[in-house]
Amino acid sequence: MIKSIRNYIEQHKENTLYLTIWFVVFTIPIMAMLLRITDTYEPFNWNHVISAWKILALFFIVFLIHNIFLLPKIVYQKNANNILLFYLFYLFFLQLHNIFFILY
């Protein structure tokens, strides 16, 4: 069992690292809320955590789109259109980011 887990991690180092980093990023709001309630003796407010998760989910989706679709096109196909596609994606993300923060 442990050997198979080690083999999986060895074969998928990059994905395991991404999973670990995103797990830590998504647990930070919970840890921050736990630290906040121990100092002020207020109840745990899930609304703050969920609102932080909404913002983080947007960045996670952009990260997935980048890694699955854009990065292979930019790295493996040396083409000027791919660079243009990357910049259009970046501008689209900036607009999503602005709209998201205006709504919330």
CB atoms within 10 A of CB 41: 6
As for how many domains the chain has, the answer is 1
The closest of 65, 83, 66, 61 to 74, measured between CA atoms, is 83
Domain that holds residue 97: 2-103
Span 32-89, pLDDT tens digits: 998 888 877 788 889 999 999 998 998 898 888 888 877 777 677 766 676 777 778 7
Query: Are 85 and 72 spatial neighbours (Cβ–Cβ below 8 Å)?
Result: no
pLDDT for residue 104: 54
pLDDT band with cut points at 50, 70 and 90 for residue 31: very high
